[in-house]
Amino acid sequence: MPECSGEIWYEHWHRYALARQLSQHCTVLDVACGEGYGAAMVSETAHTVVGVDLSVDVIQHAKNNYRHHANLQFVTASCECLPFPDASFDFAISFETIEHIEKQKEFISELKRVLRPDGILILSSPNKRLYSDAHDYHNEFHVRELYRNELDELLHETFPHIFWLGQKLLFHSAIWPENQACATTEYLINDGRQVTVGNHPSVEPMYYIAVCSHNPAMLPTALNKLSLFSDSAEMIYQDYAKQTRRVMELDQLLKDRERLIAERDRFLSLRTQQMEERELLIAERDALLDMRTGQLNERTEQLSKRTEQLNERTEQLNGRTEQLSERTEEIIKLNALLTLRNEHILEQERLNIALKQQIDYRASLVWWLKSPLRFITRAIRGNS
């Protein structure tokens, strides 16, 4: 999307700016044109431009956004089977495409077919060694990335003449004559505090841009120059400043976090000390509990023994109670016999008293005086 910012914006717009210069007054094919902003840019200087993409929605979006360009059209098609006759275009563009497809040879052959004999192809491809290997990075949308020699071998099978360009977003300090044209370009390179004058950047490209043709005379002669791309809004610098401010904010947040971590560590240390003291108290309590448990076990054993003794005493008491009950019954019986005997003795005593009284009476004078009368009375009664 053209609204994207940052490194990818510079990389994509710089490529299309270069293609715009190389394809003036040409019939141009932009393969995998995407949203269509690049094809629209090229159409400002080209004769006609056709943008091709596999996505129906993307092509419809491009038609709606760029329909005011009379020499620009968009077609839904696969890059492996382009719906155009042979030798239809003077110039073909393929940026950020080849690494996304599996049938790369068929794709290059298809581009060769739709180009005229003297046609030019400009193609970009990420440098796998730097893009992925050096950073241990994997782009999930890339099907097959290529090293420099692999891309060269693939293109040379179809296009014998190639002019190689390198692209990478770099940081520079620029000094230029104010309000005057730059007569020459000076490239100063610092390497280990030693400044040398160079004729090109000394870094490895992140992307390769290959300008290919069957006719070496058709390759542009103005490619051996350093091409710089910038924007008036200084988007990348603003993004850099924004990221710098963000880093400073993050640094402050990191300091605050470290302070909070230090406070947390002190708090944790205090809590650890409290936990150790609590564990010591728990250990002492456990020891006291063990001692109390031992005492309780001893008391329990003593209680068990006392209970056993009590049970024995209870059994003995029950036996004694039974014996007492038997003795009580015997005593009751003896008491009954004794009562009877006492009553008998009393009766005997009464009889003895009565007998004694009778004896005493008989022994008295009255008895003797009355005795003859008794005998006479008994004799009379006997005779009658």
Give me the tens of pLDDT residue by residue for the chain, a chain 384 residues long. 665 666 788 888 899 999 999 999 999 999 999 999 999 999 999 999 999 999 999 999 999 999 899 999 999 999 889 999 999 999 999 999 999 999 999 999 999 999 999 999 999 999 999 989 998 989 899 999 999 999 999 999 899 999 999 999 888 788 888 888 887 888 888 877 788 887 778 788 999 999 999 888 888 877 788 887 777 777 777 777 788 889 899 999 999 999 999 999 999 999 999 999 999 999 999 999 999 999 999 999 999 999 999 998 988 888 888 888 888 888 888 888 888 888 888 888 888 888 887 777 666 666 556 666 666 777 777 666
Tell me: do 164 and 44 sit in the same domain. yes
Which pLDDT value is given to residue 121? 96
278 within some domain: yes
Predicted confidence at residue 372, as pLDDT, reads: 66
Residue 111 lies in a domain: yes
Q: What are phi and psi of 184, to 5 degrees?
A: -140, 170
Tell me whether residue 286 is in a domain.
yes
What CATH code is carried by the domain that includes residue 21? Answer: 3.40.50.150
pLDDT at 367: 57
Residues 209 and 307 in one domain: no
Q: Looking at residue 356, what is its pLDDT?
A: 80
In the DSSP assignment, the letter for residue 192 is T
- Measured distance CA(38)–CA(95) in Å, rounded: 10
Q: In terms of Cα–Cα distance, which of 129, 131, 123 is closest to 156?
A: 123
Cβ proximity of 194 and 182 under 8 Å:
no
CB 74 within 8 A of CB 102: no
Same domain? For 290 and 202 the reply is no
| Within a domain: 134 | yes
Same domain, 224 and 285: no
Domain hosting residue 350, numbered range: 254-379
Give the per-residue pLDDT at 16: 94
pLDDT of res. 359? 75
Task: Single out the residue of 229, 159, 220, 224 nearest to residue 9, CA to CA.
Answer: 229
Same domain, 75 and 155: yes
Q: Please report how the helices 104-114 and 148-156 are oriented relative to each other, as an axis angle in degrees rounded to 10.
A: 40
Helices (H), strands (E): how many in the chain?
8, 9
Asked if residue 216 lies in contact with residue 162, where contact means CB atoms within 8 angstroms, the answer is no
Domain count, the chain: 2
Question: What's the rounded Cα separation, in Å, for the pair 248 and 244?
Answer: 6
In whole angstroms, give the CA distance from residue 315 to residue 104: 109
**How distant is the alpha carbon of residue 360 from its chain centre?**
134
Strand 207-213 versus strand 194-198 pairing type: unpaired
Q: Do 76 and 224 belong to one domain?
A: yes
Identify residue 304 by its one-letter amino acid code.
S
Rg over alpha carbons for the chain, rounded to the nearest Å, is 66
Same domain, 263 and 368: yes
Q: Is the model's pTM score more than 0.75?
A: no
* DSSP per-residue string spanning 214-281: S-GGGS-GGGSS------TT-HHHHHHHHHHHHHHHHHHHHHHHHHHHHHHHHHHHHHHHHHHHHHHH
